Structure 1
């Protein structure tokens, strides 16, 4: 059991690394769409990204039988009741420990849909503010400030008792935060428009996105806990459907307020960039992200987001021939160190809990 939990955790880390790679690629694509392509429509792009989640419902509607999980639960209840009527008390006691856990572990379709409604606005808020920040600031600055989500996740998780606060985790957060400060300071020195009001707007939007990210990550872990409890395609499909149905009225409001004038993409290449980014950068990556979160913890995946900083730095060095300052390089290293510390601490905690659970089971 201990080895199985360890493999599960390592698998979650590997999935998280894939997500980080996709997110960095998506950030550069977004920056190109808003900057190089001069299509500054973050709300419309985020709306399209969110709508792709609705496609998760198509195979469910075609192949999934009505209330797929309900027959199993009903059969278990009926069996327990029938056996209770005809069998002895000893047999009832033998059956009872086996049935209730399976019934309680899974969320019903109704509960999943309710959770997706709670989640959808937080998710859209996080993605919209993050995408909008890329229209005002660089990928580096947006990525750096998004890493503040680690602090928000730890605080929110501690309040709702989803995360166990230890000195090692606090130290890891401090180390990562120090790295974020160094990278941010170096980035601001390098940007000639650092004091421009638009850059400040981008920074504030990134911080808002970090808060929303920490909030919805903690919400998912609090309400679900383990991926076996929920039908993930149904959950994401409903998130896309709710955002599609609830957020379209904002288009005329944003257009009237001149926050974002409504305009569809002007060329086929722009449509292609938006479409590929939607399906890879959102449709696929967020499915992998939620698996990684369930296999590890909200804090681990949040700290993992910080890995986008050194990765984005590498991309800028290789493809944009940008030479980082010494503060930037040291900050990136600190971010990576903080990520590995929190992972080692969490993995040790997983081992300890599994051992305690195994001892408890043996005693019982």
Structure 2
């Protein structure tokens, strides 16, 4: 294996900061949740499209009817994931929302167990119980603060389930397509879904102040394109376990940024519950024996 030009942990660290900024940018924007999601996806598609047309458009011929169906379902799920997650940030804190959305690996296990009959292990059960206890603690603490915060937590959990559906329907298609082609197809479908959502809800496509367009574009460039692409680049040299753990630090980074930007100080239940959730997810995704750089 080629020697990386820089240590892989450096782009991974930058990737964590990049995805941590997603909730911050959403919170700074004043548009409706569906509008923010629409422009995030639209600008992502527009930025990726030239690269796709030059090098990958031939792969569209390889998509079967089943591939288009699954990609369409994945795109719709992704659209509503963003709508509900962004909406949750209007009710609950950045810390609570991002921690609960981070429970995606456990939702994924439930899906693979129900649809693909994957086996249940004691480690999975213990990890699930730990993460659920942490989420209950967060929600209980938020309910003590206000009922609207609990509502935001529920929206975040539904958003987590939706992004799991997006991943489950997409995993079969992804095996036969490059990352660029799969991403552009799903993002296009997601953008179209959000377009019609805005029309049905009679929300406005604009005009918006320049600062709003700034947040929309940053959402497309930094969390979507920079953050996730840095993770994908690093996979050539590090174990997937490293990436799995790195992603778990998104709520940590988002919570720290929220303290400085929004003065959203954490409560005791948020801190304890968040740490419990992260510990449970870490137990689920990590194989300690493989937690090293890949050997050449």
* TM-score, L = length of structure 1: 0.64
Tell which has more relative contact order, 1 or 2 (C-alpha 8 A, sep 6+): 2
Q: Secondary structure at the match of 1:248?
A: helix
List alignment gaps of at least 5 residues for structure 1: 34-38, 70-106, 256-260, 352-364
Q: Deviations over 1:219-258 (max 9, x none)?
A: 3334445xxx421111222223333445433333211xxx
Match of 1:211 in 2: 161
How far apart, CA to CA, are the structure 2 residues paired with 1:158 and 1:291? 30
**Structure 1 contact 113–235 (Cα < 8 Å) conserved:** no
**CA pair 305-218 structure 1, distance change in 2 beyond 3 A:** farther
**Structure 1 contact 178–334 (Cα < 8 Å) conserved:** yes
How far apart, CA to CA, are the structure 1 residues paired with 2:111 and 2:10? 25
Match of 1:102 in 2: none
1:173 is aligned to 2:128? yes
**Structure 1 contact 16–304 (Cα < 8 Å) conserved:** yes
Match of 2:49 in 1: 57
How far apart, CA to CA, are the structure 2 residues paired with 1:139 and 1:212? 19
How far apart, CA to CA, are the structure 2 residues paired with 1:142 and 1:23? 14
Match of 1:309 in 2: 251
Q: Secondary structure at the match of 2:92?
A: coil
Given the alignment, which residue of 178, 189, 196 partners 1:242? 189
Equivalence map 1:8-47=2 (5 Å): 18-33=14-29, 39-47=30-38
**Structure 1 contact 162–218 (Cα < 8 Å) conserved:** no
Match of 2:75 in 1: 120
List alignment gaps of at least 5 residues for structure 2: none
How far apart, CA to CA, are the structure 1 residues paired with 2:97 and 2:197? 24
* TM-score, L = length of structure 2: 0.76
1:156 is aligned to 2:111? yes
**Structure 2 contact 107–161 (Cα < 8 Å) conserved:** yes
Alpha-carbon deviation of 1:274?
Answer: 1.7
Match of 2:278 in 1: 336
How far apart, CA to CA, are the structure 1 residues paired with 2:136 and 2:193? 37
How far apart, CA to CA, are the structure 1 residues paired with 2:56 and 2:141? 56
Higher Rg: 1
**CA pair 159-273 structure 1, distance change in 2 beyond 3 A:** same
Q: Deviations over 1:77-122 (max 9, x none)?
A: xxxxxxxxxxxxxxxxxxxxxxxxxxxxxx9632465543232111
What is the RMSD computed on CA atoms of the aligned residues? Answer: 3.7
Equivalence map 1:60-139=2 (5 Å): 60-61=52-53, 63-64=54-55, 67=58, 109-111=62-64, 115-139=70-94
How far apart, CA to CA, are the structure 2 residues paired with 1:145 and 1:22? 19
Q: Deviations over 1:61-84 (max 9, x none)?
A: 2x33873x7xxxxxxxxxxxxxxx
Match of 1:141 in 2: 96
Q: Secondary structure at the match of 2:116?
A: coil
